[in-house]
Amino acid sequence: MRPIIYADNAATTKLRADALEAMKPYLIEEYGNPSQSYSFSRGAKKALKEAREIIATCINATPEEIYFTSGGTESDNWAIKGVAFALENKSPIITSAIEHHAVLRSCEFIERLGYPVAYLPVNTEGKVLPNTLNNIITERTRLVSIMFANNEIGTIQQIKELAYIAHKNGAIFHTDAVQAVGHINIDVQEMNVDMLSASAHKFGGPKGVGFLYVKSGTHLISFMSGGSQESSKRAGTHNVAAIIGMAVALKSSINEIATVQKLYEEERFFISKLQDAGLVIGNDFTWNGDHKEGNHLPGVISLSFKGRDGEVLMHRLDLKGIMISTGAACDSVNTQVSHVIKAINVPSDFETGTIRISFNQDTSHADVEAVADALLMALK
Ligand code: PLP
């Protein structure tokens, strides 16, 4: 394979070597079904228990509050439909206009079934202002679902404040933390969230596995009917190796969170390279989202270039072996301007020129420089 510079870590990440090593025995020797009670399954069962404990510790939950799923999409679908369908009456739900499609499409689905859904606007930095939630929430609201950090522009929401408003009105608070888990510290108790979605492949774990944190006492119905796995709430034989890989990847990512902070510096360096080449923020490009340190995901840069086509820029960089994205990966077949870019009001002559670059801890300073140089060439 030709060498590449991978700058699309918000789409997915490379499997960590320690996660792969930890997974191997459960793919080869320890293949017993952890739901069986004979001795051969004991190893898998024990590993599953440990993985649950590790994950719970990583987000300050208890092991009983962690439910393994097939990834972020399932966790989001379950959180929304599971809470909606838990009650007989069709109580209102509030979400935001910039959620991932896993949340938006789930909300649209229940809306078609007669549940009232409100989509909160965001400001130009992609922030849901707590007041906008305060203004429309009522005591009838059943669920509020606001993402922890946005996958296209990286903006981190004021989750603690939003959860507080939800609880004050008796609603359950869910957050899609798929982009945030493993990249920034998350403490579910400190934030006081009731449900949180995560996906292993966003933090160096394998694809097709994730979890939903559900605070004890939160009423949601089971999503998958079948066996009694996951306290009879999510049936299906466990993907043992993947779950173990996820736990190891999460623990290692969290141990490295401090080093990820250097990515904020790399972002500033990247932008300064564009500016040194004569490009002016506001005139030639916009730097989207709240890009102050700590207010967005480290390493995620969303830019919109005036009069350009993000798709063309992406392909020009691809020819040079550099992988970036035009927006959400799941949107790559869709050349329309994303709902996030629309929601933050990127000017119409800039919006089609949107690209997302997402570095991670494996990205070297030389890589960052090479991506900036290649982008400048592509713009010429
Ligand atoms: N939520 C967010 C914010 C995401 O970025 C993604 C994936 O891009 C998902 C949900 C879906 O996660 P998964 O790919 O594990 O289904």
Tell me, using a 6 A CB cutoff, whether residue 205 lines ligand 1.
no
Residues linked to residue 181 through DSSP beta bridges, in sequence order: 184
What's the pLDDT score for residue 88? 86
Residue type, 137: I
Nearest CA to ligand 1 atom 10: 72
Model's pTM, two decimal places? Answer: 0.97
**Does ligand 1 lie within 6 Å of residue 199's CB atom?**
yes
Which ligand 1 atom sits nearest the alpha carbon of residue 73? 16
Instruction: Give the per-residue pLDDT at 335.
Output: 60
Give 74 Cα–ligand 1 centroid separation in angstroms.
Answer: 9
Q: Give the number of other Cβ atoms within 10 Å of residue 226's Cβ.
A: 11
How big is the chain by its Cα radius of gyration, in Å?
A: 21
Position 206 pLDDT exceeds 60:
yes
Q: Which atom of ligand 1 is nearest to the CA of 11?
A: 8
356 within ligand 1 shell (Cβ under 6 A) = no
Nearest CA-CA partner of 177 in 159, 197, 199, 191: 197
Residue 197 alpha carbon to ligand 1 centre in Å? 9
Quote the ligand 1 centre to 221 CA distance (angstroms). Answer: 22
Choice between 3 and 178, residue whose per-residue pLDDT is larger: 178
Q: Are 141 and 169 in contact (CB under 8 A)?
A: yes
> Average of pLDDT values for 15-33?
97
Instruction: Report the C-alpha gap between 229 and 227 in whole angstroms.
Output: 6
- Rounded mean pLDDT, 96-117: 98
Per-residue model confidence as pLDDT tens digits over 256-274: 998 888 999 999 999 999 9
Would the CB of 77 count as within 6 Å of ligand 1? Answer: no
| Whether the Cβ atoms of residue 287 and residue 303 lie closer than 8 Å to each other | yes
pLDDT at residue 142, rounded to an integer: 97
Q: What is the pLDDT of residues 358-370, one digit of tens each?
A: 999 999 999 999 9
Ligand 1: which atom is nearest the Cα of residue 207?
Answer: 15
pLDDT attached to residue 329: 45
Contact 72/210 with Cβ under 8 angstroms?
Answer: yes
Q: Give the per-residue pLDDT at 179.
A: 98
Query: If you ran DSSP here, which 8-state letter would residue 184 be given?
Result: B
CA of 129 to the centre of ligand 1 (A): 23
In this prediction, residue 2 carries a pLDDT of 72
102 Cβ closer than 6 Å to some ligand 1 atom: yes
Does 34 contact ligand 1 (Cβ within 6 A)?
A: no
Q: How far apart are alpha carbons 9 and 83 in whole angstroms?
A: 31
- Residue 30: phi and psi, rounded to 5, are -90, 60
The reported pLDDT for the residue numbered 327 is 60
- For residue 178 and ligand 1, the question of a CB distance below 6 A is answered with yes
The alpha helices in the chain, defined as continuous H runs, are 17-28, 42-59, 72-84, 101-112, 130-136, 159-168, 188-191, 229-232, 240-255, 257-260, 262-276, 310-319, 339-343, 348-351, 365-379
Longest dimension (CA), the chain: 69
Ligand 1: residue whose CA is nearest its atom 13: 72
Ligand 1 centroid to Cα of residue 329, in Å, is: 9
The whole-angstrom separation of Cα 100 and Cα 176 is 8
Determine the straight-line distance between the first and last CA of the chain, rounded to whole angstroms.
28
Contact indicator for 15, 245 with CB cutoff of 8 Å: yes
The encoded tokens of residue 293 equal: 């340190």
For 187: left if phi > 0, alpha if psi spans -120 to 50, otherwise beta; the answer is beta
CA-proximal residue: ligand 1, atom 12 (nearest): 72
- At residue 328, the pLDDT reads 46
Average pLDDT of the chain is 95
% of the chain exceeding 90 in pLDDT: 94
pLDDT over 70 (residue 330): no
Q: What span, in angstroms and rounded, lies between the C-alpha atoms of 206 and 70?
A: 11
The SS3 call for residue 308 is: coil
Catalytic residues: 330
- 287-296 pLDDT, tens digit each: 999 989 999 9
For ligand 1, is residue 179 a contact (CB within 6 Å)?
A: yes
pLDDT band at 331 (very low <50, low <70, confident <90, very high): very low
Distance from Cα 84 to the centre of ligand 1, integer Å: 21
